[in-house]
């Protein structure tokens, strides 16, 4: 069957009809997949762009077929949490799923070209995130010159779970809620030590944390601090996803100071987070974990979590010499 030609447009700004087409497509994707089309960070950038609040640093492109319907939307912008480089995500309309590769590849390539044109972008990584990734996504990413970077697993567990009461795990650990305005500095030190080298979580600044504290979902009672002899040794930050029906509790950030790893603190903090979710009446717990994070995976599986979804990021480094749209080269990205 002859595939209809795909036309890609990079948009400088939104207008009413483009905004309606994009929002409509995202709603269709969310309904079909049972989850938002984009990850939270990219969705936030797109919302600001559609509202005309952020036009600098965010690039939006659409792919359409001859019939004119928008088949896919691509959004690119700065990485989350002060991480290096840019991220790009693509949402494909359910009606265009059958020609996913034919739609995604030119869209990603066009966005990459726009980003690569900025001289300061040369050498920086561009991360393509795909939710529910499979082999066909690996193939499309490779065709666009991206290499597999990280595999992120979404795990879920029913509540109440099979975790042990934390009093039997560590008696000397005091767990208390975060106090805004007082605990930021200590939390940042332990977080950045626990996640040293992590692309999104390891270089948080006070500004990153204060930004999260201003989020509508933030509740300081959800950020549990673990102290031994008055010293912060780790924390477990949970949050509720009301957009899911029924709502789901997420273990949002869990980190233990490296000097205290392997002594039961992580387990005690996760259990405390799960107990908090149970008290709130939640029936499902959820979290994201890097597929290479053996210690965390071991901990979560022992608490009843199992695989719900696989997300993957692909990376390629931007270069001024990137070929123009439609001609993806297959040069492997240089090492980080
Ligand atoms: C994951 C993390 C929170 C675990 O905290 P911890 O205090 O070291 O964990 P615990 O001592 O409570 O151990 C929990 C389980 O993990 C296992 N574990 C701990 N370190 C491990 C390691 N290096 N390799 C394999 N398993 C390990 C333990 O065996 C333990 O299981 P057990 O109770 O059956 O013996 C901690 O390693 C951490 O902060 N890592 C960096 C940040 C991070 O990756 N967070 C998770 C993101 S999803």
What pLDDT does 65 receive?
Answer: 82
Can you give the pTM of this predicted structure? 0.85
| 314, 146 contact by CB (below 8 A) | yes
The CATH architecture to which 162-303 belongs is: 3-Layer(aba) Sandwich (3.40)
Residue nearest to atom 21 of ligand 1 (CA): 295
Atom of ligand 1 nearest to the CA of 270: 3
- Distance from Cα 262 to the centre of ligand 1, integer Å: 6
- Residue closest via CA to ligand 1's atom 17 equals 295
Decide: 237 and 190 in contact? Cβ < 8 Å. no
Q: Which of 163, 187, 203, 261 to mutate to test the pocket of ligand 1 (most atoms within 8 A of CB)?
A: 261
Residue 81 CB–ligand 1 contact under 6 Å: no
Distance between Cα 227 and ligand 1 center (Å): 17
pLDDT, residue 304, reads 94
Share of the chain above pLDDT 70, in %: 90
For the chain, which residues make up each domain, given as ranges? 6-152+312-317, 162-303
Tell me the C-alpha distance between 145 and 156, whole Å. 33
Ligand 1 nearest-atom number relative to CA 257: 39
**What's the CA-to-centroid distance between 188 and ligand 1, angstroms?**
19
Atom 4, ligand 1: which residue's CA is nearest? 266
Q: Please state the three-class secondary structure of 165-224 as a single string.
A: CHHHCCCCCEEEECCCCCCHHHHHHHHHHHCCCCCCCCCCCHHHHHHHHCCCCCCHHHEE
Query: Residue 254 Cα, ligand 1 centroid: separation in angstroms?
Result: 10
Domains 6-152+312-317 and 162-303 share a fold: yes
Nearest CA to ligand 1 atom 41: 194
- How many C-beta atoms surround the C-beta of residue 279 within 10 A? 8
What is the whole-number distance in angstroms between the Cα of residue 303 and the centre of ligand 1?
A: 12
Contact yes or no for 269/254 (Cβ under 8 A): yes
Residue with the smallest CA separation from ligand 1 atom 36 is 256
In angstroms, rounded to a whole number, what is the distance separating the alpha carbons of residues 265 and 274? 14
Residue ranges in the chain modelled with pLDDT below 50? 325-336
Residue 112 CB less than 6 A away from ligand 1: no
- CATH topology for the 6-152+312-317 domain: Aminopeptidase (3.40.630)
Q: In this predicted structure, what is the pLDDT of residue 1?
A: 56
pLDDT tens-place string over residues 141-170? 999 999 999 999 999 999 998 777 665 678
Answer whether 276's CB lies under 8 Å from 175's CB.
no
293 lines ligand 1 (CB under 6 A): yes
What pLDDT, on a 0 to 100 scale, did the predictor assign at position 319? Answer: 84
State whether the beta carbon of 197 lies less than 6 angstroms from ligand 1. Answer: no
Q: Which of 225, 256, 224 is nearest to 239 (CA)?
A: 224
The pLDDT value given to residue 9: 95
């Amino acid at each position: 069957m002859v595939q209809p030609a795909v036309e890609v447009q990079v948009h400088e700004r939104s207008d009413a009809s483009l905004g309606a087409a994009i929002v409509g497509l995202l709603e269709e994707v969310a309904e079909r997949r049972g989850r938002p089309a984009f990850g939270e960070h990219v969705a936030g950038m797109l919302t600001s762009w559609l509202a005309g609040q952020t036009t600098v640093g965010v690039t939006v492109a659409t792919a359409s077929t001859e019939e004119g319907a928008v088949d896919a939307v691509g959004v690119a912008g700065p990485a989350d949490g002060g991480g290096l480089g840019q991220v790009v995500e693509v949402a494909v309309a359910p009606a265009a799923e059958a020609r996913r590769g034919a739609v995604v590849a030119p869209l990603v390539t066009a966005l990459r070209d726009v980003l690569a044109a900025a001289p300061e972008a040369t050498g920086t990584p561009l991360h393509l995130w795909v939710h529910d990734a499979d082999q066909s996504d690996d193939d499309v990413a490779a065709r666009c010159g991206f290499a597999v970077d990280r595999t992120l697993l979404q795990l879920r567990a029913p509540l109440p779970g099979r975790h042990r009461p934390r009093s039997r795990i560590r008696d000397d650990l005091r767990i208390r809620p975060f106090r805004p305005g007082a605990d930021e500095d200590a939390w940042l030190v332990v977080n950045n030590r626990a996640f040293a080298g992590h692309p999104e979580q390891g270089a948080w600044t006070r500004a990153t944390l204060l930004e999260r504290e201003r989020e509508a979902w933030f509740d300081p009672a959800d950020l549990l601090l673990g102290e031994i002899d008055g010293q912060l040794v780790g924390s477990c930050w949970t949050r509720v996803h009301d957009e899911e029906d029924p709502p789901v509790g997420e273990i949002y950030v869990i980190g233990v100071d490296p000097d205290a790893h392997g002594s039961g603190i992580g387990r005690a903090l996760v259990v405390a987070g799960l107990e908090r979710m149970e008290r709130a009446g939640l029936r499902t717990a959820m979290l994201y974990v890097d597929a290479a994070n053996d210690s965390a995976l071991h901990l979560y599986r022992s608490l009843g979590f199992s695989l719900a979804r696989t997300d993957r990021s692909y990376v390629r480094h931007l270069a001024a010499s990137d070929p123009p749209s439609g001609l993806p080269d297959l040069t492997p990205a240089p090492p980080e």
